[in-house]
Structures are given as C-alpha cells and as structure tokens.
Amino acid sequence: MTTRVVPLKPSAPDVTSEKTTFRVRRRHLKIVLPIAVLCAVVAVAVFAPALAPFDPTAQHLSLRLRPPSWIKGGDPRFLLGTDHLGRDILSRLYYGARVSLPIALAATTTGALIGITLGLLSGYFRGIVDSIVTKLIDIQLSFPFILFAIAVIAISGPKLYMLVLVLAARSWTTFARVVRGETFVIGGNDYVVAARALGASQPRVIFRHILPNILPLAVVIGTLDIGALIILESTLSFLGLGVQPPTVSWGRELSEARQYIQLAWWTTTFPGLALLVVVLFVNLLGDGLRDILDPRLRAR
Amino acid sequence: MTRLTQRLFHFAIVILGVTTLVFIALRMTGDPALMLLPGDPTPEDIMLARQKLGVDQPWMTQYITFIGNAFRGNFGVSFQHGVDATGLVFERLPATAALAGSALLLAAAFAIPLGILAAVFRGTVIDLIVMVLAVIGQGVPFFWLGLMLILIFGVELRWFPTGGYGGWQHLILPSLTLAGYIAASTARLARSSMLEVLGRDYMRTARAKGLALHVVVLKHGLRNAAIPLITFLGLQMGLLLGGTVVVEEIFGWPGVGRLLLQAISYRDYPVVQAATFILAMIFVLVNILVDLIYTVLDPRIRDQR
C-alpha cells in the first residue's frame, strides 16, 4: 500500500527554525496513517464487487458456520469463515464498508449545515435567537439521545433517510455549540466591526467575514463526529432499527451473529473489528486534524 | 434568583421539553388500536378501542391531559399489560439502577486513577499506555464489547453467565460493558483536568513546602480537578441511561430499557411515556445532586450565595 501525503499548509506561517519545521512535519505524520487506512477502506468499499470472492448474499447451506480458513475445519475458499447461512464473512465485510461510511458522512454533512447555520445566527444576533438555540441544545444534551433515536425510528419505520436524519439530529448540537462560541469571539474582532462600519450587509459579514474563519473548526468537529455517528448507526442497526437486509451492514451482521455466539466466535468478532478499525482511524484523523488546524483545541 | 432556583427552573424546562418531544415522536405515525386488536377488526372495533385508549381525542387535548397527569405521576394504564404504567417502570427500576450505578462506579474507579497517573507521569510510558487505551476505548462500539465479553468470559472461560438476572455474577459482564462505554472519555477528562491543576502555583507551593507527591496530588490536586470531573460524570448519566437500553437487550437484563424497547414496538404509549419521563427525571435529579456536591467541594461557588 502506498501512503499518500496530502499537502497541508503549515499552521504557523513563521516556520523558521529547524526544530519547528520538524514539529510541523511530525504533526502531519499523525494524519498520514489514518488517511492511508481510510483511503484503503474507501477503496475496498468502492471496489467491493471486484474484490469480494463471493456474492455477499450467496448462501452455501452445506457450509454453514465454517471457521476461518486457517483453523482446523475451515474451508480455504472462505478466509474468515462463513455465517449461519453459509455466506462468506469476508465478502460481507467488504460490502459492509459501503454502508457505514456514506451514512455517517451524509448525517454529519446534514448536521453540519443545520448546526453551523444555527450557531452563526445565535452567535451573531444573540438575544431571542440565542436563547432558543441554547435551550434546544440543552434539552437535547439532557436526554439519552439513543432513546429518542429508538423511539423515532421504531415509529416511523426503519427507512434509510430517517436513519440519516436521526443521526443528523444527534450531530447538529456539537456544531451549533462550538460555532456559536466562535462567532461570539470573531464577531467582536476589529475587522468584523470595521466591515460593518463600512456598510457591509449582515449576510455579507456573516458569510464573508465570519464563516471562513469557522470552517477549519467545523472540519475538525465533523471528523471527530463521524466516528461517534458510525457507532450510533451500528448500534441502531444492531437493534434492528437501522440498515435493513438484504443490505449488508456491520451492525446488522452483529445482531444476526449474536445468536450463534456459542458456536462460532468468528461471526461476531470480525464485523466488530471492522467497525473498531474504521472508528479508531477516523478518530485519529480527527485528533490529527485538530492539532494542525486548531491548536487551541488540543487541550480539550 | 439564586443559582439553585435558576438551575431548577432550567431543569423544569428540560423535562417539559423532553416529554413534549416524546409525546410528538410517539404520535407521528402508528395507531396503537391496530396493534392491539387481534385478527381482522371491524371499523367499529377500532373506534371502540381508540375511544378506550383515549387516542381518539385531538392531539392538543391529549397533550394537556398528558402533562397534567404526568406531574401527578399518572401515565395511565399500559395498553399491553393492562396495569399501571408507572408501576411497571418502578418495578423494573432497581435492575436498571443496579446496572447503571455499578457501571458508573466501575468506570470511575478505573478511569479516574488511570487518568491521574497519566497526568502525573505525563510524557512517560504510563501516559502513553493510558492514552492508547483511551483512544482504542473510544473506537470500540460498546455493544460489540459486550458480545466479546460474553464470548471470552461466558462462552470460552465460563466464569460468568452470558445473560439473565440473578446474583452478582449476572451483573459483572453487563456492568463492565456499560462502564466501557464511558471509561475512555472519563480517563481522558481526568487526565486533562489533572494536567491543568498540576501547573498551578499552589501545587508548586505545596511541593516546595516538602509535602510528598502523593499527598499533593491526592489532596490539593484531586480536590480541584474533581469539579469538572463530577460535572462530566453527571452528564455521562445521560449516556449511561441510554446505554442501559442496549446492554439490557444484549444480556437479557430485565430493566427499564428492555421494558421501553418492548413498549415501543407495541406502541404502548403510557409505558413509553412513563419510562422516558422517569429516566429524564433521574438524569435531572443526578445533575441537581452534582450541583449540590459542587457547592460543598468548591468554596468559591458556596460563598456566592
């Protein structure tokens, strides 16, 4: 696997001494590995039909619950073994990658749009808008969100767009809270005051002068949020409220495999490991991006 | 307004907001009458059932009746079981409380000392190990952690039962799973709040006057680092209460969470409303308690009043 180095502007413009240069490069190293791993996952998702040895829904009923090929009793054709219907676990893992990441990305994007807009409005105009938005955030943070998600999906039926909307509903508060705080601070800066004094309209001030300064922060929050959303999606799928068969999803796999946990450890182990790896590297990427784009957040 | 009344007002709004959300979400679709009637009911049967359940009234009337009754602790009779919904929830509450409480204790008992150790020995191998554990911990889907614990300690080693309700042996695996859900973030927060305190002047003074490291860290440091930590743990109760739903489902633990999941699939409105209301109340009460603990711990807040 070749590791691609994504060029990023150094965070400090005054990179002069040897020592600082080295530190900047080391910080960049922290995101190279996560990016490489996630690129590999995306590649697997995109090329799943070509990579997968079997159709993920193809059943081999005479070869049910076969252990991984390296274990006694394993079949060399099924590297990671088969599930309770004789489906190839490796192929299902490949196809599962096509579900978790796109759903989480769609949800984060929706949540970001709502959260950034409300955060900007409430931080810029303050007053009544601000009290409504902060109360909404408070209410949401004060309640076990998963209960709300379960209730909404159980009642509306497990549709894909509902899943994305529910995940977005979980995601917007993080954006709104941070963006609101930043807008407070940036709104008081001299250049914003100057822009207003020069007669810039309010939309212009918000979109041209404040928003660009908030975007790096939003990228960091978004990345850190994706990991949490992937876990939430898999949890809902695990409860049977997320992605529905025949679409393969790691969370759904785990809920089916659960009944065979006494007989076949591999069916519950591998989908979970796949989730763990993806979430882990998304989180690492978020941490790395935070260090590069917004060093102030590092302590948090 | 004093700080406390301000907080109480805030919590009242939160509870009202939560119950309203649940009320609306439950009524978005689905007719409980259809779920309950067996076979092929006639339109008259459906009408009668809806009247009996009170869901034939306009939403607004249902809402006002609901809020009025909620504050008297009366959520009506369970559609599914035909008994008082609040009673059903309270019957299941001890199991959930045992699970959430032991998980909180476990998480605090492991994560906080680890976080403090990492902070005190910042930049050493200890710090590295704790942080690596925390990063991995935050990437593990906690329901999968539960499955893996069942696999290792239930199926392979046979140390603990794989599910069900009974003695303390039944509690170990579910409560470890739930503790794992919040342990990583707790350890990270313990580390960062301790790091912040360690840099303070009074810590240097305490060391300079010859106090041993552990005395300084535990007496001067922990007391100051405890304030953000306790707030954080209070807020984590929300996650814990939500997490119990999933953990109870995995381990067949007969708590409020499982009751709620069943009630949702039957559209058993009274039970869903009673369960969510009571869980939200618990969360709010815990956070009021946290507020009170603060005032004891922190003279700066205590003297404000």
Element (H, E) at B44: helix B43-53
pLDDT band at residue A14 using 50, 70 and 90 as cut-offs: very low
Nearest CA in chain A to B144: A272
CB contact under 8 A, A139 and B276: no
CB of A156 within 8 Å of a chain B CB? The answer is yes
| Contacts with A, B 107-136, CB within 8 Å | 135-136
Phi-psi region of B76 (alpha: psi -120 to 50; beta: other; left: phi over 0): left
- Cβ B264–A151 below 8 Å, yes or no? yes
Q: Is B5 exposed, middle or buried (0-12, 13-18, 19+ CB in 10 A)?
A: exposed
Minimal C-alpha gap between B260 and chain A (Å) = 9
Does B147 contact chain A (CB < 8 Å)?
A: yes
Chain A environment of B239 (Cβ under 8 Å): 144
A87 pLDDT above the threshold of 80: yes
Q: How far apart are CA B125 and CA A88, in angstroms?
A: 41
Of residues B69 and A295, the one with the higher pLDDT is B69
pLDDT band at A294 (very low <50, low <70, confident <90, very high): low
Q: Looking at beta carbons, which residues of chain B come within 8 Å of A272?
A: 141, 144, 147-148
- Chain B contact for A144 (CB, 8 A cutoff): yes
Cβ-nearest to B18 among A142, A258, A275 = A142
- Say whether A146 and B245 touch across the interface (CB within 8 A): yes
Question: Is the pLDDT score of A13 beyond 50?
Answer: no
Q: Mean pLDDT across the stretch A116-128?
A: 89
**pLDDT at site A16:** 46
Positive or negative torsion for Cα A16, A22, A26, A29: positive
**Which amino acid does the sequence have at B210?**
G
**Residues 6 or more apart in contact with residue A215 via CB below 8 angstroms:** none
Helix (H) or strand (E) holding A292: helix A265-293
Tell me how far apart the alpha carbons of residues B305 and B22 are, in angstroms, rounded to a whole number.
36
| Mean pLDDT over the full length of chain A | 81
- How many CB atoms within 10 Å of residue B114? 22
Task: Count chain A–chain B contacts defined by CB atoms under 8 A.
Answer: 140
What is the ipTM metric for this complex? 0.79
Question: What is the value of pTM for the model shown?
Answer: 0.82
CA–CA dist B191, B183 (Å, integer): 12
Regions of chain B where pLDDT drops below 50: 305
**Contact between B263 and B271 (Cβ < 8 Å):** yes
Chain B neighbors of A227, CB-CB under 8 A: 138-139
pLDDT given at position A299: 44
Closest among B40, B51, B33, B57 to B269, alpha carbons compared: B33
Residue bearing the bigger pLDDT, A81 or A20: A81
The nearest CA of chain A is from the CA of B139 a distance in Å of 5
Overall average pLDDT of the A135-148 stretch: 76
From A231's Cα to the closest Cα of chain B, the distance in A is: 6
Q: Is A262 on the interface with B (CB under 8 A)?
A: yes
Are the C-beta atoms of B252 and B164 separated by less than 8 Å? yes
**Has residue A256 got a pLDDT over 90?**
no
